[in-house]
Amino acid sequence: MSGHSKWKTIKIKKGAADAKRGKVFTVHARLIAMAAKAGGDASMNASLRMALERARADNVPNANIERAVKKGTGEDKEGVSYEEATYEAFGPGGSAFLIDTITDNKNRALTNVRTMLGKNGGNMASAGSVSWKFSKKAFLLVDPKGKAADAAVVELTLIDCGADDLKNADEGKFEVYAAPEKLGEVKKAVEAAGFRVEKDELVWQAKEELKITELETARKIVNLVDVLDEDEDVVRVTTNVDFEESLLAQL
């Protein structure tokens, strides 16, 4: 076990805000469009199938999903073409940031990210100067659903399912990390064990976390994450920070 999820409070706050402004739907639409470039038949396109499953789990309307698929396949002739880009940056307190975007205009995305960083205590980093601090991982949010009262038993079961790392999450749930190529395999094993997988995706995970003990620095980092996440082109913001437990309630 590597401790409690550092974003336990922040994720709840941001999740509600994202839902209100429709950001979740926008992100899913772009992820679907990107996946659909390889083909619009989900039975033949595993990436599209997973993107559709995640969108439906977040209650994205079917009309939005169908429109996104058509944009990706080119069936929608007026649709835009999306590209992926990841930007590296340093934030307040020496924190490291990876900013994943899906955009129809890389120049706009880069300019916006650079501007947001500059106005909020961060700065762009040269290629490779930040990314080496992170590894690509399969991520699953797992709810044991009371299948095992003993947390230690749950942990051992998840390790047997292929987990490389575990973190406690809210409400007795677990964040499970594994090798990226094992995402589907671990998900099947976890579900076969009787646990519910609430979310599964590929994410960045910091190789070593930076402990943040000063409240003002923590607030600046959270603010920068919020500002970046509000941008329409940004689909994920990852940092290497670990907030002191006593700070979480004040953020």
Give the domain ranges of the chain.
8-73, 83-132+208-248, 134-206
Give yes or no on whether 8-73 and 134-206 have one common fold. no
Q: Give me the pLDDT at residue 149, please.
A: 61
- The CATH code of the domain at 83-132+208-248 is 3.30.70.980
Q: Which residues does 131 contact at the CB level (< 8 Å), separation at least 6?
A: 86, 88, 98
Give the domain 8-73 fold: Arc Repressor Mutant, subunit A (1.10.10)
Q: Write down the architecture of domain 134-206 according to CATH.
A: 2-Layer Sandwich (3.30)
Tell me the C-alpha distance between 175 and 166, whole Å. 6
- Strands 83-90 vs 96-103: parallel, antiparallel or unpaired: antiparallel
Say yes or no to pLDDT of 241 above 80.
yes
From 10-14, 164-168, 223-227, 235-239, the region with the lowest mean pLDDT = 10-14
pLDDT digits (tens, 9 = 90+) for 70-128: 999 988 877 678 899 999 999 999 999 999 999 999 999 999 999 999 999 999 999 99
Tell me the C-alpha distance between 153 and 98, whole Å. 34
Q: For the residues 200-214, what does the mean pLDDT come to?
A: 93
- Strands 123-124 vs 196-206: parallel, antiparallel or unpaired: unpaired
Entry pTM: 0.84
Q: Give me the pLDDT at residue 248, please.
A: 80
On whether the CB atoms of residues 24 and 58 are closer than 8 A, the answer is: yes
Say yes or no to pLDDT of 160 above 70.
yes
Q: Percent of the chain beyond pLDDT 90?
A: 69
CA–CA distances in Å: residue 182 to residues 17, 46, 105, 126, 193: 32, 13, 32, 30, 16
Q: Give me the pLDDT at residue 148, please.
A: 59
Say yes or no to pLDDT of 11 above 90.
no
